[in-house]
Amino acid sequence: MGNVLRGKNIIIGISGGIAAYKTPQLVRLLKKQGAQVRVVLTEGATHFVSDLALATVSEERVYRSIFPPADTSGTDYTRHISLGEWADAFVIAPATANTLARLSSGLCDDMLTALFITLRPGKPVVIFPAMDGQMFLSPSVQRNIRILSSQGCRLITPDSGELASGLSGVGRMPEPESIVLSLEKAVHSIANSSQLYGKSVVVTAGPTREKIDGVRFISNYSSGKMGFAIARSAAERGALVTLITGPVHLETPSGVKRFDVETAMEMHDVAENFFKSCSIFIGAAAVSDYRPAEPFEGKMKKEHPEIELTLIKNPDILAEFGMQKAPGQLAVGFALETHAGLDNARKKLNAKNLDLIAFNFFDRKTSGFEVDTNILTLIDKEGVTTELPQLTKDQAAERLLDCLEQFCVTTQL
Ligand code: CTP
């Protein structure tokens, strides 16, 4: 199964049962696996485990109420939304009878229950009920467990043994090691059920450089972050990802095959090798549209008062794929626009024969090159348009691939 939790964003929700005292160990184990962990406590949980212990082991602040303290800074006001967006998986351990009842009825009166609602669809929720044996077997708890299971949550039957009441029976929270294993299985099986699982996905990323002479080039501000985020997310969904990138300072996402190129022609030549065999081609690179017709050998001297540079057109890699793709192959592109954005994006979708295009609003502060966030509007060839809020590039990549998966389902590809 490999280390499926590495790099994953995990929320641990803790409710008020005695087993809560074991949760700092759970946080530790998940962090050791390379996961980022945020902790959410119910009021009841604070009787059994301290905020400070959990904040120390998670190296993050711990959340309880939806309502932030009065001295909160800007972004914290809607933390129940942004944490839900952030999470790749939600573990609730221990889940008391009261918390199960609140979750199953859709109540939303603290951070834990709010996150249950704001978590993105399809993300695994693994719940570990833990309580006295009689309580666990009571009709109301069993009914709530059935409701939550029918909503797609994984409810893990508690262990049997000695209980806090002094009685013995079913009701013990599994040990943290076993909770980690259950979570790994849940995350792994979600990846297996992805529409992208086993598909060959090619992503272009970053800028290209077009040589003027031996030491100078024409390029753009692309950082490659968006393309790399897409490659990472596709690999996590079980796709076989090839990433063709211009010069960037980014690490190769785990499990991704990377080709480094410099010019648009080089990017084109590498990409062309995959046109026939790939299932999905995603053009996230900011490919230079033109290149100097005759790059100068060596370094140009400044001996002329002015010079003229003749530029010739580079091949449009994505359009070339779009035009020759076979039925069943998908082409996805970006449209970076500074004005008439949606109209231009729709034109590009049609002109390049794409299945999905992400109109990338460009304003240099919140969206576009270099910054860590993006504001995308996704348009598929059936005309379905999805406006996304300002998101990190990782989150935007997830949403783009969610949308692509949905497109695969509705068009039965
Ligand atoms: N693209 C490409 N090869 C090129 C130019 C663009 O593969 N030579 C891809 C980009 O990766 C992106 C999409 O085409 O997915 C649109 O790129 P964009 O720069 O927004 O538009 P252009 O097609 O270059 O058109 P224009 O510059 O006129 O807006």
**165: CB partners within 8 A, 6+ apart:** 132
Report whether residue 334 contacts ligand 1, using a CB cutoff of 6 Å. yes
Nearest CA to ligand 1 atom 12: 334
Q: Report the pLDDT value the prediction gives residue 74, as an integer from 0 to 100.
A: 61
CA of 57 to the centre of ligand 1 (A): 45
| pTM of the predicted structure, to 2 decimals | 0.74
Residues in the chain, overall count: 413
Active site amino acids: 220
* Domains along the chain with CATH numbers: 9-190 (3.40.50.1950), 200-410 (3.40.50.10300)
* Burial bucket for residue 261 (CB in 10 Å: 0-12, 13-18, 19+): buried
Q: Which atom of ligand 1 is nearest to the CA of 317?
A: 7
Query: Alpha-carbon Rg of the chain, whole angstroms?
Result: 25
Closest CA to 159 of 175, 142, 141, 135: 175
Rounded to whole angstroms, the Cα distance separating 138 from 398 reads: 40
Whether residue 359 has its Cβ less than 6 Å from ligand 1: no
Please name the residues in contact with 386: beta carbons below 8 A apart, sequence gap of 6 or more. 377, 378, 379, 399, 403
pLDDT (tens, 9 = 90+) of the chain, 413 residues, equals 568 899 899 999 999 999 999 999 999 999 999 999 999 999 999 999 999 999 999 999 999 999 877 776 666 788 899 999 999 999 999 999 999 999 999 999 999 999 999 998 889 999 999 999 999 999 999 999 999 988 889 999 899 888 888 888 889 999 999 999 999 999 988 877 889 988 999 999 999 999 999 999 999 999 999 999 999 999 888 899 999 999 999 999 878 899 999 999 999 999 999 999 999 999 999 999 999 999 999 999 999 899 999 999 999 999 999 999 999 999 999 998 888 789 999 999 999 999 999 999 877 677 777 788 899 999 999 889 999 988 989 889 999 999 999 888 877 66
Nearest CA to ligand 1 atom 28: 289
Task: Give ∠ CA 62-30-237 in degrees, rounded to 5.
Answer: 105
378 lines ligand 1 (CB under 6 A): no
Please choose from 261, 330, 334, 378 the residue to mutate so as to test ligand 1's pocket, defined by most ligand atoms within 8 A of CB: 334
Q: In the prediction, which pLDDT does 279 show?
A: 96
Ligand 1 neighbour 5 (Cβ under 6 A): no
- Nearest CA-CA partner of 378 in 412, 339, 406: 406
Q: Which atom of ligand 1 is nearest to the CA of 282?
A: 15
Number of other residues whose CB lies within 10 A of the CB of residue 272 = 14
Query: Ligand 1 centroid to 250 CA: how many Å?
Result: 22
The residue whose C-alpha atom lies closest to atom 8 belonging to ligand 1 is 316
Indicate which atom in ligand 1 lies nearest the CA of residue 318: 7
Q: Do β-strands 290-292 and 311-313 pair in parallel, antiparallel, or remain unpaired?
A: antiparallel
Pocket test for ligand 1, best of 210, 222, 272, 348 (most atoms within 8 A of CB): 348
Q: 277 CA to middle of ligand 1, Å?
A: 22
